[in-house]
Structure 1
Amino acid sequence: MRDIILSKLNEMEKENNIKILYAVESGSRGWGFASKDSDYDARFIYIRPIDWYLSIDEKKDYLEYPIDELLDINGWDLKKALQLYKKSNPPLLEWLSSPIVYMENYSLAQKMRDLLPDFFSAVPTIYHYLHIARNKYQEIMSTDQVKIKRYFYILRPLLACMWIEKNNTMPPMEFVKLMTDQVLDGALINEIEKLLNKKTSGLEIDIEPKSPLLIEFLRSKISYYENHLKSVKKTNVSDYSILNTLFQETLKEVW
């Protein structure tokens, strides 16, 4: 599949007259809990020739490859990516730590990693993860049985919130790293590991009865972070000029 994805990315470069600066796997395969039939979610940052940016016209700043049951590929223009980076956009920041890298032909991604301590903002990132967890939690509470993958769609963002509170840094993409960073109850760890083994060895549609232990953990953490956000303040970066410099340097490096 890696060769197929690389072939599609190369096609997109030629068809759209772009250069892909960085391409990674996102979604469950990047998170480390893919099922046997999980699809592939490739994400990338690209750059166009210099003249494309010398216009006042509004232009499309993203690209998508037609989605099928197995493969989902889309990417953002560099300018869009840096605008989102400035806002500490969690999905973009996750890409920078993906364990599965398809392309990294230029210096951009490493420079973004190096600048991350200056641009990471804990409060909006916790808001992002809490919003995901709360919505997914409400979905499973309306059923008697739960798709195993839905547990992890709640667990992962909550563990990310816990990571941020503890370390004040962007959480890693991989679920196992998030989990091992925390001191959790032994029974809870066993329950999560049991479900993780079932998830990675089974199918996307596999279901389980509700786990009272896990449900209570999810409920308590959602409640905790709802209250936590009331007592913390967002910090602002005062100087974004370095991102303009990074944009200009990348144009020169590529073209």
Structure 2
Amino acid sequence: MQQVNGDSIGPDVRAEIERRLAAIEAQEDVRFLLAIESGSRAWGFPSPDSDYDIRFIHVHRRDWYLSLMPGRDVIERPIVDEIDLNGWDIRKALNLLFKSNAVVSEWMESPIHYRPVHPVMARVSALADRLLVPRAMAWHYAKLATNAAKDWLDSDAPVPVKKYFYALRPALCIRHMRLHGGRPPMNLQQLVATTELTPSLTGMIEDLVAAKAVPEKRAMARACPLWMR
């Protein structure tokens, strides 16, 4: 299956995102260990008008961690011009990794980066592999898939393409874990390549990716019996 997203961020948008990230570093007095795309553009099924979902892991100065009253471990900014910035302190990210949190795991697997990855993240990724409890992570993906599919799974009505993907990608993550045992990639094309799908099913997924790529957020697809199996 052809990789469709790569680095699909235009130069002007990338420059604006990097400007906002630099402003956050200055305003919050933090450094970024990781700053990535974590939405449909990184998942591999973007629309031209998809939002930019920027996520980051940051570190404060030492005294912040020694304070008896530490500040918030989340940094958020309002969505402006479809750019959404949200990040977690490294301590929060590590605490979630101890619970096999799939969100942090996916951030580390994103194919789209806005800053160079700090070398310490290689150690964090290795830690995530050692701490992985497959059942806990699979449960997260099962809930995502079930919640996304429950409104259309038993219906013959056309389905918004993005809803297919919100169920399909988590299902493929579970399949990847069953076949390979480790943390799954976040990107749809990588998941398709590693989950031993039939050619017919792969072709249907490619058709859905193409439908999602049109400049219309409400692209629809017919209900397909193969998804119900």
The normalised TM-score by structure 1 is 0.80
Runs of 4+ in 1 over 6 A off after TM superposition: none
Larger displacement relative to structure 2 (157-166 or 176-185)? 176-185
2:127 is aligned to 115
CA distance in 2, matches of 1:171, 1:105: 19
Q: Which residue of 2 aligns with 1:174?
A: 187
| Residues 30-41 of structure 1 aligned to structure 2 (within 5 Å) | 30-41=42-53
Most deviating of 181-190 and 21-30: 181-190
2:143 matches 1:131: yes
Q: For residues 117 and 187 of structure 2, what CA distance do their matches in structure 1 show? A: 23
Amino acid at match of 1:102: Y
**Who is 1:158 aligned against?**
171
User: Is 1:204 aligned to residue 209 of structure 2?
Assistant: no
Q: Which residue identity lines up with residue 19 of structure 2 in the other structure?
A: S
Secondary structure in structure 2 of the residue aligned to 1:153: helix
SS at match of 1:20: strand
Distance in 2 between the 1:146 and 1:90 partners? 26
The structure-2 alpha-carbon separation of the partners of 1:69 and 1:132, relative to structure 1 and needing over 3 Å to count, comes to farther
Aligned residue identity for 1:127: W
* Residue number in structure 1 paired with 2:64: 52
Q: Give the structure 1 partner of residue 200 of structure 2.
A: 187
Corresponding residue number in structure 2 for 1:42:
54
Structure having the higher helix fraction is: 1
Q: Which residue of 1 aligns with 2:24?
A: 12
Matched residue SS, 2:118: coil
Q: Classify the secondary structure of the residue corresponding to 2:186.
A: coil
| Matches of 1:182 and 1:101, distance apart in 2 | 25
Q: CA distance change for structure 1 residues 167 and 12 in 2, over 3 Å: closer, same or farther?
A: same
- Equivalent residue, structure 1, for 2:99: 87
Q: Distance in 1 between matches of 2:70 and 2:129?
A: 31
Equivalent residues, number:
216
1:6-62 alpha-carbon deviations (Å, 9 max, x no partner):
110000011111111110000111111101111110000111111111122253110
Alignment pair present for 1:71 and 2:83: yes
Q: What is the SS of the residue equivalent to 2:37?
A: strand
Shift of 1:86: 1.5
Q: Which runs of 5+ in 1 are unaligned?
A: 218-255
Equivalent residue of 2:68, what SS? coil
Instruction: Give me the whole-angstrom Cα distance separating, in 1, the residues matched to 2:34 and 2:216.
Output: 30
Deviation at 1:151, TM superposition (A): 0.5
In structure 2, how many angstroms separate the alpha carbons of the residues matched to 1:177 and 1:141?
25
115 and 92 in structure 1: CA distance in 2 versus 1, 3 angstrom threshold = same
Residue 103 in structure 1 maps to residue 115 in structure 2 = yes
Give the 3-state SS of the residue equivalent to 2:85 in structure 1. strand
What is the DSSP-based 3-state SS (H/G/I as helix, E as strand, rest coil) of the residue aligned with 2:32?
Answer: strand
Cα deviations by residue, 1:188-228 (Å, 9 ceiling, x for unpaired): 222221111111234221112222232x23xxxxxxxxxxx
CA RMSD of aligned residues (A): 1.6
Query: Which letter maps to 1:20?
Result: F
Q: Displacement of 1:105 after TM fit?
A: 5.2
- Report the Cα offset of residue 114 of structure 1: 2.7
